[in-house]
Amino acid sequence: MTDAYIVGVDMIKFGRFPDRTVPNIGAEAALLALDDCGLTIQDMQALYCGNLGQASGMVGQRLLQEIGQTGIPVVNVANACATGATAFREGWAAIKAGLYDLVLCVGVEQMGKGLLGGAGGGTGIPKEGLLGSGTMPAVFAEAGMEHTRKYGTTFEQFAKVSVKNHHHSTLNPKAMYQIETPLDVVMNAEMISYPNTKLMCSVNVDGSAAAVIASEKKAKELGLMDRAVKVRASVMSSDPWQERDLVMPDVNSCTRKAAREAYEMAGIGPDDIDLVELHDCFATAEILHYENLGLCGDGEAGQFIDSGASALGGKCPVNVSGGLLSKGHPLGATGIANIYEVSTHLRGEAGQRQVEGAKLGMTHVIGLGSACGIHILEKV
């Protein structure tokens, strides 16, 4: 089976673009990724397009109407916050299978402002605030409080995640925000759902990211191996049965399962990873995923953030891009944007925020419901 290489990858600066269309926002990243490897849409043999908000709207085909209708097959993908990673993985699978030699994967989202989620739908009366809360900040607060219950993790430790990621994004010109947020500012921000304050919730933004994946033969033939990034592992999982599933969406067991399989596929362990972009949809979530991804032992995540291990310059920098908390979280784009971030470090092109000597990196996303996508990337 051929190896698959990312030969072109890019993202737009995340922001708010209410006057643009979803395909138009996606087209911009698609062109950037093509330019990154000097190829054109005529070279692409298939398009995998991830978008959530217009999942029934044929976004991929409309995107081609903006950059070139070559008649290639288009697969539109929706998988909650794992949408972009799923689109990427579909492209990867097609290359691995030998079906194509060059594919384009795009993730795009245009978001409104405000709370996502809500308890119970259906008939009768609204259940939000009656049978607890189904808002995303509350759901992830409860998941964080489960960690507090087990290990005594504090509000301050959760808040430190936000301080770190907001600091990282001051070094990332493509992040939504470049604003330092000291600990007291994070902790004193409006409380949304204890222990998540407003600055501990991901930012709803519009954005897009895209990647061109090539077979080894094609990457060599085109002379693109210099900046190529090898996909060492691509894994997805859904949530295996857990006793509190029905009332507590589970982001842990699917991440642990996918991480275990990804390390196995790559033939490496967590100690080999030089940087991680993980799904910090809320500050509480990042703490859980340190352990879920094996970056530290169970119960050690609080100490992991306290020690600076996950900060730029630390043992395993996490979310150097600023993460979802500060770079922003355009749902369908996030999974490819984090692949762009890790690839950029592996190529040594990350400028001020460069993780020195990065050879292997990991990306992780979770779509609640749940879908987990993990990729391990390597500079060859």
Partner 1 sequence: MSAQPLPVVPYLKIPEDGEPYLEGQKCGNCGATFLGERSVCSKCGARDQMSAVTLPNKGELYAYSIVHRSFPGIEVPYVSAVVDLEDGTAIKGNLIDVEPDPEKIPFGMPVEVVFDDALGRKDKDGNSYLSYFFKPAS
Indicate which single residue of 4, 141, 285, 305 sits in contact with partner 1 (rule: CB under 8 A): 141
Could you say which of 168, 329, 345, 364 is catalytic? 329
Binding status of residue 188 toward partner 1 by CB under 8 A: no
Instruction: Work out whether 190 is an interface residue with partner 1 (CB under 8 A).
Output: yes
Q: At 375, is the secondary structure helix, strand, or coil?
A: strand
CB atoms under 10 Å from CB of 193, counted, come to 22
Q: Is 124 in the site for partner 1 (CB under 8 A)?
A: yes
* Tokens (6 digits) for 221: 């033939």
Which of these segments, 9-17, 89-97, 238-246, 357-365, binds partner 1 (CB under 8 A)?
238-246
Q: Which of residues 80, 93, 189, 191 is near partner 1 by CB under 8 A? A: 191
User: Residue 127, interface with partner 1 (CB under 8 A)?
Assistant: yes
| Comparison of 169 and 193: residue with beta carbon closer to partner 1 | 193
| Beta pairing partners, 376 | 233, 362
Which of 195, 187, 199, 177 is CA-nearest to residue 288?
195
Nearest to 32 by CA among 237, 209, 284, 233: 209
Does residue 329 contact residue 202 with C-beta atoms inside 8 Å?
A: yes
CA distance 106 to 41: 13
Q: Which amino acid appears at position 148 of this protein?
A: T
Q: Which of 42, 71, 149, 352 binds partner 1 (CB under 8 A)?
A: 149
Our CB check for partner 1 shows the closer of 99 and 131 to be 131
Candidates 56-64, 118-126, 230-238, 285-293 — which segment interacts with partner 1 by CB under 8 A? 118-126
Active-site entry in 37, 81, 201, 281: 81
364 is catalytic: no
Least distance (Å) between residue 291 CB and partner 1? 16
Q: Is 102 helix (H, G, I), strand (E, B) or coil?
A: strand
Buried b (16+ CB within 10 A) or exposed e, 116-155: beebeeeeeeeebeeeebbbbbbbbbbbbbbbbeebebeb
Beta-sheet pairing, 74-77 with 196-197: unpaired
Applying CB under 8 A, what is the total number of residues that bind partner 1? 40
Tokens, residue 107? 């993730």
Instruction: Mark the segment that binds partner 1 (CB under 8 A) among 44-52, 168-176, 192-200, 258-266.
Output: 192-200
Q: Name the residue nearer to partner 1 (CB basis): 154 or 307.
A: 154
Our finding on whether 121 is near partner 1 (CB under 8 A) is no
- Catalytic annotation on 289? no
What values do phi and psi take at 359, rounded to 5? -115, -35
The widest CA-to-CA distance across the chain, in whole angstroms, is 62
Tell me which of 186, 192, 266, 278 binds partner 1, using CB under 8 A.
192
For position 137 contacting partner 1 by CB under 8 A, the verdict is yes
Nearest to 320 by CA among 298, 296, 302, 338: 338
Beta carbon of residue 256, minimum distance to partner 1 (angstroms, whole number): 18
Q: How far is the CB of 289 from partner 1 (least distance, A)?
A: 17
- The dihedral built from the CA positions of residue 87, 89, 90 and 94, taken in this order, carries a sign that is positive
- 145 is a site residue for partner 1 (CB under 8 A): yes
Binding site for partner 1 (CB under 8 A): 115, 118-120, 123-133, 135, 137-138, 141-143, 145-146, 148-149, 155, 190-196, 241, 243-248
- The residues annotated as belonging to the active site are 81, 329
